Amino acid sequence: MGDDTLNTEPVLHIANLHKEYYNPTTLVLSDLSFDLYHEDFLCILGPSGCGKSTLIRCIAGFEKYQGVIQIKGKDVEGPGTDRIMVFQDFNQLFPWKTVLNNLTYPLKLNGMTDKNERREKAEEYLDKVNLLEYKDYYPHQLSGGMKQRVAIARAMALGSEIVLMDEPFAALDAMSRNQMQDELIRIKEKEKMTVLFITHNIQEAISCGNRIMVMGKNGSIIENMKNPIEKPVTPASAGYGELWKHLNQLLRDNK
Amino acid sequence: MKKKLLAQIIFIIFVLVLWQVLFELKIWPKLLFPSIPMIGKALVKAFADRSLGQMILHSLGLLVEGLIIGVVLAFLLSSLSSINEQTAAVYNMIVCMFDLIPGIALIPVAILWLGIGDAAIIFMVVHSVIWPMSRSIIDGFKAVPRIYTEVGRNMGLKGMGLVFGVYLPASFERLFSGIKVGWARAWRGLISAEMVFGGGSALGIGYFITDRRTNLDIAGIFATIIVIVLIGLLVEYGLFRTVEKNTIVKWGMTH
């Protein structure tokens, strides 16, 4: 665990975040406020169209917004490497670069001038997601789950303050999905990552998050709680059923 | 694969034999219908005594020069035109209009403006390349998936960095097809132009074939046609296929 000084300043600070589309006027995010601390794994649940994707895109810097979004006290004004996004789409790796170069390229862009250093760092992180032997492959030769792992490795290698994940496993089959969840939890613990994870899957939120947030209509927060269940979470864990019911009820009531 | 090649070779042999048989039957005068050995001899002579090799190199040199100028101009104009919607609409109109003009129809203009010579040929090659290339650039850049540009921006790319780092490789398939269309048009246009100019300083392969006609050297004409076909095959299979194999095929980006 990180020391206390690290944990007192939020990595992500959001206050009165507000966003609406005009013509016709639609409220997408209304007056959201929450903080995320170092090593938090926040899972955001919500029905389709509740604005959870817009929220993560605002944090990533892809969307304009009103209100405050800060990373370690610095206002978010456009995309940056302190917030690397992992998308749901498997095609987020550059197909014209090998797996290894998909990791070294952003390192080069961000000032790592020594070629060997870049390669070593990329290999180190590919090893962490167990894909070192695939480093010379091109993305189209990998499965969907492997591509997502490379994308996660890329985010970690860049030393991102917070990894933003927008339903990264939603397009995977159930088996690979469970595998990826386990792997993500393992890596997150080991690397002391801070993660903001969007999902519409209750099981996923309970399994992965140490905090769970539920968003309702018009992009408001209707639940923001600590996940009381000890890891590793299985459906047999104490309290799993109650929590599942509670979250399911919230989602139903706020469709 | 091998069976297909074999069939193709057998077909060529069949045509050669048929040709020779027709010649032996003496249906047409020798002056109009040469034998295969006559064409072969003319082919050797064209290179040995009449410096066809030099002329081909001259033609190809002009072609490459025009291709480069055309591609660079297409990039400049396409970029400039993307300043706002009005300029884009105007350039789009220009491309549509000029794309319709066959290169050969501009030869009178080229002759009057630039005189008979290399400059007029390059003018025509540039014309053949610039419009299809512009079309490829505009359409190709538009079709780049948003996820690649967002991933690129997330890594810290912007402006020209984004163009070279993401837009160019992501639209490579279309850009390359623009180059292929440009080459095919330019190659035909160039030979036509050289035939029209028929001498002066425009001593290329097109001039050569006209010169053979003036000398009533039918074997020489067929020899030149064979050379034109061979150069086309060499560029298509030797150059273009090799480039594709090492780029879009390797990247899994072919459709």
CATH of the domain at B177: 1.10.3720.10
Q: Over the stretch A81-101, which tens digit does the pLDDT of each residue have?
A: 999 999 999 999 999 999 999
Does A78 lie at the interface with B, CB-CB under 8 angstroms? yes
Strands A220-226 and A211-216, bridge-based pairing? antiparallel
pTM: 0.86
The partner residue sitting opposite B156, judged by closest CB among A60, A81, A87, is A81
Residue B221 lies in a domain: yes
Residue B27 lies in a domain: no
- CB–CB of A95 and B154 under 8 A? no
Chain A 110-169, residues with CB within 8 Å of chain B CB atoms: 110, 138-141, 158
- CB–CB of A91 and B166 under 8 A? no
Q: Over the stretch A237-255, which tens digit does the pLDDT of each residue have?
A: 889 999 999 999 999 888 7
pLDDT band at A1 (very low <50, low <70, confident <90, very high): very low
Residues of each domain in chain A carrying CATH 3.40.50.300: 1-82+162-169+192-255
- CB–CB of B150 and A85 under 8 A? yes
pLDDT averaged over every residue in chain B: 91
Instruction: Find chain A residues with C-beta within 8 A of B157's C-beta.
Output: 109
The partner residue sitting opposite B153, judged by closest CB among A79, A105, A141, is A79
Which CATH class for the A1-82+162-169+192-255 domain? alpha beta
**pLDDT above 90 for A15:** yes
**Identity of the amino acid at A211:** R
Rounded CA-CA distance A100/B47 in Å is 49
**pLDDT above 70 for A2:** no
Residue B15 lies in a domain: no
Looking at the DSSP assignment, which residues form a beta bridge with residue A34?
A14
ipTM: 0.90
Structurally, chain B folds into a number of domains equal to 1
Instruction: Give the domain range for residue B213.
Output: 56-246
Residue B24 lies in a domain: no
Residue B171 lies in a domain: yes
- Is residue A82 classed as helix, strand or coil in its secondary structure? coil
CA angle at A46 for the pair A45 and A50, rounded to the nearest 5°: 140
Rounded CA-CA distance B129/B182 in Å is 4
- Burial label for A115, CB within 10 Å (0-12, 13-18, 19+), is exposed
